[in-house]
Amino acid sequence: MSAEIGYLAAQSPKTIQRQLMPKKKIFILLPDGVGLRNFAFSNFYKIGLEKNFDITYWNNTPFDLSGLGFKEIKINNAKSNPLTDSYKNARKHIELNLNIKKEKDHVYDTYRFPFSYKNIKIAVKSYIARFLISLYNSEKGLSKVRAKIKNEEKKTDFYKQCLKTLESERPDFVFCTNQRPVLAIAPILAAKELKIPTGTFIFSWDNLPKATMVVETDYYFVWSEHMKSEILKYYSYINENQVFVVGTPQFEGHFDKNSIIDKVDFFNKHKLDLNKKYICYSGDDVTTCPDDPQYLSDVADAVRKINAENGNSLGIIFRRCPVDFSNRYTKVLEKNKDLIVSIDPIWEKIGEEWNTILPTQEDVKLLSNTIAHTEMVVNLGSSMVFDYACFKKPCAFLNYDVPNRMDKNWSVSKIYNYVHFRSMSDKKAVIWLNSSDEIAPKIEEGLNNTTEIINNAQKWFEIINQHPPENSSDRIWKEIAKIVKSV
């Protein structure tokens, strides 16, 4: 007891008050592995503990969080209602149909995925979804679909299991790390049944125009004022006082100076040439960019041209998309093995679906170090532009179609027409590579004269993500504190 008194005496009055207050119990719901990077591999947990919260991860991932010293309750045998997938798919299509009608903009058609019929089970789900779309294709119908999803999920054993867990644990708040998975619906509904406040984080900068909302919570945590305006626009049932602008923890690791290793150590570890500078080529998944290997090949050809003029001074680090385990780059990498060094993301493949490929803590540091030790990034329209903006380094966007496209229905024009790119008020926030012939001179430009590009990228980053970006976890916990205080 005397040691505790001595500890308290050494603290500030605010700290003493916080330490003596009963801890509020917060459940962090991980319905899938998507939220691990933001909420397990950042400073989120540590900051929550410092603010005197009792934190438990309600964990539906295969990842063992207890190994990190976190309290967790494993979710076992989570299973949604057989009809929920069809209702979810119908909801998405109806929302997109209504957006087209309201906005008079057919860009929303590009967010659809073709219905699949590859086996009997999937075909049945597709036929049911198509029937539901025809039956409920209106605002009133959409409300019925939303209600049906909730009613079906409340019939499941998983919902009963969630009720049992929450009745036993009685958290003060349930925070869902991702608004998209159907397996998040039952836990949120169970919390609402027990009058426990709920919130969800909108996972990515492009999610809201895509009609990806599955869970409906009491509160919504978004990246920016821009995203707040989007959520209020697309979801009329959400009120402004339910939405908190907090940023995203995904960029926080870039500001941890202790995670950046010495350049010589990094180069030696990955067998890089200390006499060269490196650019990063950041790969896309096959759906986003079916021609990505050809783009990488074009960049390699451009770098060879630069080296021919400047004495072999430049190399390429290839960081593939973390959920792409294909062999589609093999020929390009073999052909250019003197020029391209692959530094693969450190993710763990647990299953075949993209959301069962899990990030790791090691990869958060690897990404930061890759950016720190490269000069710029080249890719097709990814959020890596903002990762590089954290380091005040430029990004080049590929902006041309290659000859002999793998998919004749795919085009870069489709990618850059997506709604989230309309937030780029100044088109000079990136270097545009409008043909393969432009790559070499524009990479040289990116290596030598990019003050304007970097400044504009920073302005775009500030539109997309609340600043300062390194304080996102702190802002989330402050809003959670307000919610539980008012309960």
Report the CATH number that the domain containing residue 257 is assigned in CATH.
Answer: 3.40.50.2000
Question: Is the same domain home to 281 and 220?
Answer: no
Q: Cα–Cα distance between 132 and 145 in angstroms, integer?
A: 8
Left (φ > 0), alpha (ψ -120 to 50) or beta: where does 456 sit?
Answer: alpha
- The terminus-to-terminus CA distance of the chain in angstroms comes to 32
Element (H, E) at 68: none
Q: Give the closest residue to 406 by CA, choosing from 287, 299, 282.
A: 287
Judgement on whether residues 337 and 192 belong to the same structural domain of the protein: no
Determine the Cα–Cα distance for residues 34 and 369; give it in Å rounded to an integer: 22
Residues of the chain falling short of pLDDT 50 = 1-8, 354
Let me know if residue 150 belongs to a domain.
no
- Token pair, residue 183, equals 């397996």
**Strands of the sheet with 340-342, listed across from one edge:** 340-342, 314-319, 277-282, 377-379, 395-398, 431-433
Task: Determine, yes or no, domain membership for 195.
Answer: yes
Q: Across the strands, what pairs with 280?
A: 317, 377
Alpha carbon 374 to chain centroid distance? 23
Q: Are residues 228 and 336 in the same domain?
A: no
Q: Which amino acid is at 354?
A: W
Which sign does the torsion angle of CA 330, 331, 334, 336 carry? negative
Domain check: are 222 and 356 in the same one?
A: no
Is residue 279 one of the residues assigned to a domain?
Answer: yes
Residue 340 φ then ψ, to 5°: -105, 130
The answer, yes or no, to whether the previous bond of 31 is cis (omega within 30 of 0) is no
Surface-to-core class of residue 408, CB atoms within 10 Å of its CB (0-12 exposed, 13-18 middle, 19+ buried): exposed
For residues 169 and 130, state if they share a domain: no
Q: Would you state the structure tokens that stand for residue 312, as one six-digit string?
A: 């072999």
**Residue 277 φ/ψ, nearest 5 degrees:** -95, 155
Residue 398 is which amino acid?
A: L
Same domain, 128 and 225: no
Dihedral pair phi/psi, residue 223, rounded to 5°? -75, -35
For CA atoms 473, 479, 482, 487, give the dihedral sign: negative
270 lies in the same domain as 367: yes
Is 1 a member of any domain? no
Q: Are residues 267 and 332 in the same domain?
A: yes
- CA atoms lying within 13 Å on the CB side of residue 295: 30
20 domain-assigned: yes
pLDDT of 123: 96
Residue 319 shares a structural domain with residue 449: yes
Full residue range of the structural domain in which residue 227 is found: 11-80+156-248+470-486
| Residue at 92 is within a domain | yes
d(CA 90, CA 84): 10
CA 142 to CA 135: how far, in whole Å?
A: 10
Residues 211 and 277 in one domain: no
d(CA 350, CA 63): 9
Residue keyed to tokens 């960049």: 299
In a domain, 403, yes or no: yes
Say yes or no: 136 and 191 in one domain.
no
Predicted local distance difference test score (pLDDT) of residue 426: 78
**How is 142-175 classified by DSSP, letter by letter?**
HHHHHHHHHHHHTTSHHHHHHHHHHHHH--SEEE
Residue tagged 């294709």 (tokens): 137
Orientation angle between helical segments 120-135 and 84-103, nearest 10 degrees: 40
What pLDDT was estimated at residue 17?
55
Structural domain total, the chain: 3
**Rounded to an integer, what is the distance from CA 393 to the centroid of its chain?**
21
Reported as half-sphere exposure (CB side, CA atoms, 13 A), residue 188 has a value of 28
Tell me, yes or no, whether 151 lies in a domain. no
Say what the pLDDT of residue 328 is. 96
Q: Are residues 241 and 277 in the same domain?
A: no
Q: How far apart are CA 267 and CA 387, in angstroms?
A: 20
Nearest Cα to Cα of residue 281 among 453, 417, 197, 397:
397
DSSP run (H or E) holding 389 = helix 384-389
Report pLDDT for 234.
98
Residue pLDDT, tens place only, 143-188: 999 999 999 999 999 999 999 999 999 999 999 999 999 999 999 9
pTM: 0.93
